């Protein structure tokens, strides 16, 4: 087989990835293979326990597969010196529960990933302001998460995910804790990032209406991919 | 935002616990700085009695670690004086007396010949010097005179039932001496029923280089068996009194340090447990393990340093107060050397480091996904 990632049109590729828990008695993922081209906007759908979050964790190097491998720009994650570095430089994460640090202001939260870069304190502050402006939160930069609405918190979390100019944005049920109107606002934001910044976005959701706005839908069931459109 | 901002934010979010931890470290640092400082200054003051007069060698009975328990024959002094290379020799009989009614214990009384060079650089502030023909006469240092609330012309019972007349009050630049008494050698020998006995001989050599001193040392040692010739510094450093003071100071400090360290570990472990989710988030968004370790260690070291600042201030206050108390003022100078303070800071940093290490590595071991589940 010739290198399928040649020219790096494929940003991310999962190859026969399996994840077993409890000494192999629970199969969270079974032989999942998936290619995500650069710049694609992908929604992963499926019922609870279908393995979609587990797959996202494998793609984001938050967890390692029991079998198989994930390749980023053709490089096996298992061969990378530092998965922390991969997460810090190449990825942006958005979680269902926002995962902001409660004692830090919006601006400070956005700056957290920047400690892994060479930016100075002044540059960090300036960049955070820029990103908060981008997600429409410029006016709330000094507020701690407790003073923000849930929708605002998720916007701050998205700004944080963009802190190190990642190539890939991974989002796990980013609107799971939001009402539909707020959720729509967040999806508008994802769409904008995809359109304006040509960002590759992989998001897990079980809202079919929202998933429909992605370029491609990957459906999962019982740890397997059942259909992959696009 | 700076990294330090993050560190301070984390310390400030648990003010009570941070304050308690700082107190724990502060107590340990106080113990180190005050106790070790006092032991040091005690040692320094003792040594100064000899060094300020250029005493090179001290002759004592061999094998005795308790300096005041040494007994020598006073005729040895004359034999040493005749040795070549000896500039001056002074015998001294040292006794320790107490004035129980006044709650004053452990006062040094020295019996010295009137021509002793030790008497050369004490200054009389009231009354007169000891004179030939003085019987039952005593000179008091300024501090002990004040503590005994007595003065020239009054009687002092150096030994119960045997009053001696205070003929003069003297001041030495040595704090320890100001808390002591001086009597004519013969008078003290009579008073204590120790005729012909002395405690030690202090020798000033003509030449003070190491070789000459070693040669002189050998010559003195060969004069008579059972004597020991020590350099002034050795004499002080090996004294059981000094060693005990040092040992007690370090022992107390070590215990305090252990308690401080355990307090630190406890605080930092709790902090890590409470922040499991946050730390996992940091890992998930790409913070390296080393940065997590750095964060936790920075927090614990800052707490340690805060403890050092508070502890040093406390120690300075305590030694100042002690030096003004009549009971302790005779030995505590109230001075704390920068070296001891530096030691306190070094130890506090160590407490922070050691106390933070285990929690920091625990924090770094967190698996990102574990923490994200920890809602």
Q: Which residue has the tokens 């004490």?
A: B122
Instruction: Give the ipTM.
Output: 0.89
Q: Within 13 Å and on the Cβ side, how many CA atoms surround B139? A: 28
Residue A13 contacts B, CB cutoff 8 Å: no
Q: Judge: A85–B10 Cβ closer than 8 Å, yes or no.
A: no
- Is A70 a member of any domain? no
For residue A162, being part of any structural domain is answered with yes
Residue B81's beta-bridge partner residues? none
User: Over the stretch A109-145, which tens digit does the pLDDT of each residue have?
Assistant: 999 999 999 999 999 999 999 999 999 999 999 999 9
Q: Note the pLDDT of residue B375.
A: 47
C-alpha to C-alpha distance for A221 and A226, rounded to whole angstroms: 6
Number of alpha carbons in the 13 Å side-chain half-sphere of residue B202: 24
- Are B73 and B217 in contact, with CB atoms under 8 Å apart? no
Structural domain boundaries, residue A140: 39-61+79-228
- Whether A73 maps to a domain, the answer reads no
**Cβ contact B286–A99 (<8 Å):** no
Residue of chain A whose Cα is closest to the Cα of B277: A99
Q: What's residue B239's pLDDT?
A: 81
From the list B277, B284, B288, the residue facing A93 with the nearest CB is: B284
Query: Band of the pLDDT at A206, cuts 50, 70, 90?
Result: confident
The answer to whether the CB atoms of A88 and B286 lie below 8 A apart is: yes
In a domain, A13, yes or no: no
Q: Is residue A8 part of a domain?
A: no
In a domain, A5, yes or no: no
Tokens of A28: 């969270």
First to last CA, chain A: 22
**What b/e readout covers B121-130, taking b as 16+ CB neighbours within 10 angstroms?**
ebeeebbeeb
- Indicate the residue of A108, A112, A128 with minimum beta-carbon distance to B282: A112
| Contact flag A121-B1 (C-beta cutoff 8 Å) | yes
Task: Please report residues of B whose CB lies closer than 8 A to that of A88.
Answer: 285-288
Q: Touching check for A115 and chain B: CB below 8 Å?
A: yes
Q: What is the DSSP letter of B239?
A: -
CB contacts < 8 A, A to B, total 72
Within 8 A of B286 by CB-CB distance, chain A residues are 84-89, 91, 113, 116, 164
Phi, psi of B92, rounded to the nearest 5 degrees: -150, 140
**Among residues of chain A, what percentage have pLDDT more than 90?**
70
- Is A209 inside a domain boundary? yes
pTM: 0.79
Instruction: Please name the residue of chain A whose CA is at the shortest distance from the CA of residue B1.
Output: A121
Q: How far is B52 from chain A (nearest CA, A)?
A: 56
CATH number, residue A178: 3.40.50.300
Closest CB to B1 among A93, A97, A124? A124
Scan for tokens 């001891």, then name that residue: B340
Q: How many CB atoms lie within 10 A of CB B257?
A: 23
Does some domain include residue A68? no
Half-sphere exposure of B130 (CA within 13 A, CB side): 30
State whether B281 and A101 contact (CB < 8 Å).
Answer: yes
CA gap B59, B199 in Å, rounded: 9
- Spell out the SS3 assignment of A13-53: EEEEEEEEECCCCEEEEEEEEEEEECCCEEEEECCCCCCHH
Average pLDDT, chain B: 89
Parts of chain B with a pLDDT under 70: 64-65, 326-334, 371-375
Structural domains counted in chain A: 1
Please give the pLDDT value at position A5: 47
Sign of CA dihedral B232, B238, B241, B245: positive
């Amino acid at each position: 087989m010739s290198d399928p990632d040649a020219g790096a049109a494929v940003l991310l590729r999962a190859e026969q990835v399996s994840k077993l828990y409890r000494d192999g008695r629970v199969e969270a993922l079974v032989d999942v293979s998936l290619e995500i081209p650069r710049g694609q906007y992908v929604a992963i759908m499926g019922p609870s326990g279908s393995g979609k979050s587990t797959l996202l964790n494998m793609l984001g190097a938050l967890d390692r597969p029991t079998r198989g491998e994930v390749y980023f720009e053709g490089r096996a994650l298992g061969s990378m010196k530092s998965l922390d570095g991969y997460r810090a430089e190449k990825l942006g994460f958005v979680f269902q529960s926002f995962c902001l640090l409660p004692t830090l202001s919006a601006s400070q939260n956005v700056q957290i990933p920047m400690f892994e870069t060479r930016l100075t304190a002044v540059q960090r502050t300036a960049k955070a302001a820029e990103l908060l402006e981008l997600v429409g939160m410029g006016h709330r930069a000094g507020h701690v998460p407790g003073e923000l609405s849930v929708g605002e918190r998720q916007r701050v979390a998205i700004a944080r995910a963009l802190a190190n100019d990642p190539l890939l944005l991974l989002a796990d049920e980013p609107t799971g804790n939001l009402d539909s109107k707020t959720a729509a606002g967040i999806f508008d934001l994802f769409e904008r990032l995809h359109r304006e910044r040509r960002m590759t976005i992989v998001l897990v959701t079980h809202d079919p209406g929202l998933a429909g706005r992605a370029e491609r839908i990957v459906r999962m069931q019982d740890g397997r991919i059942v259909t992959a459109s696009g | 935002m700076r990294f330090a901002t993050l560190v301070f934010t984390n310390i400030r979010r648990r003010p009570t616990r941070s304050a308690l931890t700082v107190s724990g470290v502060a107590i340990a640092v106080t113990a180190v700085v005050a106790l070790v400082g006092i032991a040091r200054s005690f040692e320094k003051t003792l040594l100064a009695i000899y060094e300020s007069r250029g005493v090179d060698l001290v002759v004592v009975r061999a094998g005795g670690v308790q300096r005041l328990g040494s007994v020598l024959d006073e005729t040895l002094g004359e034999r040493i004086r005749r040795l070549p290379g000896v500039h001056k020799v002074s015998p001294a009989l040292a006794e320790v007396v107490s004035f129980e009614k006044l709650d004053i214990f452990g006062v040094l009384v020295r019996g010295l010949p009137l021509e002793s060079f030790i008497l050369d650089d004490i200054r009389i502030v009231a009354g007169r010097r000891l004179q030939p023909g003085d019987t039952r006469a005593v000179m008091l240092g300024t501090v002990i005179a004040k503590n005994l609330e007595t003065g020239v012309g009054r009687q002092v019972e150096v030994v119960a039932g045997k009053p001696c007349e205070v003929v003069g009050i003297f001041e030495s630049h040595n704090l320890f001496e100001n808390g002591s008494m001086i009597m004519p050698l013969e008078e003290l020998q009579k008073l204590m029923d120790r005729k012909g006995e002395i405690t030690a001989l202090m020798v000033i050599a003509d030449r003070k280089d190491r070789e000459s001193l070693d040669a002189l040392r050998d010559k003195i040692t060969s004069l008579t068996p059972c004597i020991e010739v020590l350099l002034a510094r050795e004499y002080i450093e090996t004294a059981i009194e000094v060693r005990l003071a040092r040992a007690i100071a370090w022992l107390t400090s070590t215990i305090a340090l252990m308690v401080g360290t355990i307090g630190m570990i406890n605080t930092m472990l709790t902090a890590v447990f409470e922040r499991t989710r946050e730390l996992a988030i940091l890992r998930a968004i790409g913070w390296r393990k080393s940065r997590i370790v750095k964060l936790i260690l920075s927090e614990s070291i800052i707490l340690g340093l805060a403890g050092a600042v508070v502890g040093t201030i406390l120690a300075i206050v305590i030694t100042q107060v002690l030096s003004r108390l009549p009971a302790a003022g005779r030995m505590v100078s109230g001075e704390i050397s920068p070296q001891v303070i530096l030691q306190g800071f070094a130890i506090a940093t160590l407490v922070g480091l050691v106390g933070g290490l285990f929690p920091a590595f625990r924090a770094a071991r967190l698996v990102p996904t574990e923490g994200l589940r920890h809602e």
